[in-house]
């Protein structure tokens, strides 16, 4: 089996769960924050939808320079749930296509920098798994807490949630 054949089913599962979570974000709660230092619910959900594009950058570029990035590239903010889910769906489609590469592409080093400061360099595979996929799952879990704090049903992820059987 190729790396892509091993990775894509997990990617599909995580993206389906993430979509179910994003679908729960109500338009009237986009500005809600659990704490002054926290993302708003809309900004956190937008961050998750935007992060999916990091997979495309990882698999199609050698590096990403935060110093040259526009605010929209870093965290474009959705105005409502429909826009959020639409962006997410488009980003997932592009990311899935970017992952369908030969094994050799996964071993190419990828660098995140901020101008002359190198934040990290790692093989694309490691970056996709940790910086992209695991990072999305981490923020999805945060969003689940936001939903719970607002009495919004949390979708099941790896088994039943308190709100759903599966």
Domain assignment present for 166: no
Domain assignment present for 106: yes
Domain assignment present for 38: yes
- The answer to whether residue 107 scores a pLDDT higher than 70 is yes
Domain assignment present for 155: no
- The answer to whether residue 166 scores a pLDDT higher than 70 is no
Number of structural domains in the chain? 1
What pLDDT does 100 receive?
97
- CATH value at residue 9: 1.20.120.450
| Residue 125 structure tokens | 């595979």
Q: How many CB atoms lie within 10 A of CB 115?
A: 9
Domain assignment present for 117: yes
Averaged confidence pLDDT in the chain: 95
The residue segments making up the domain with residue 47 are 3-149
Give the C-alpha distances (Å, rounded to integers) separating 92 from 41, 51, 62, 133: 20, 10, 20, 11
Is 8 in a helix, a strand, or coil?
helix
- The answer to whether residue 91 scores a pLDDT higher than 90 is yes
Nearest Cα neighbor of 92 from 17, 29, 166 is 17
What pLDDT does 92 receive?
98
What pLDDT does 70 receive?
82
Residue partners of 146: CB distance under 8 A and separation at least 6 = 32, 34, 41, 44
């Amino acid at each position: 089996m190729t790396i892509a054949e091993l990775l894509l089913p997990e990617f599909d599962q995580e993206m389906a769960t993430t979509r179910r979570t994003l679908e729960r974000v109500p338009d009237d709660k986009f500005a809600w924050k659990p704490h002054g230092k926290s993302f708003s619910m809309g900004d956190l959900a937008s961050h998750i939808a935007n992060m999916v594009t990091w997979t495309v950058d990882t698999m199609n570029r050698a590096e990403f320079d935060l110093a040259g990035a526009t605010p929209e590239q870093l965290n474009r903010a959705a105005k409502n749930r429909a826009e959020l889910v639409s962006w997410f769906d488009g980003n997932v489609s592009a990311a899935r296509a970017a992952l369908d590469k030969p094994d050799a592409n996964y071993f190419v080093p990828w660098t995140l920098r901020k101008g002359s400061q190198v934040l990290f360099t790692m093989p694309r595979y490691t970056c996709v798994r940790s910086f992209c996929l695991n990072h999305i799952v981490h923020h999805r879990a945060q969003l689940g807490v936001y939903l719970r704090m607002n009495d919004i049903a949390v979708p099941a992820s790896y088994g039943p949630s308190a709100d759903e059987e599966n």
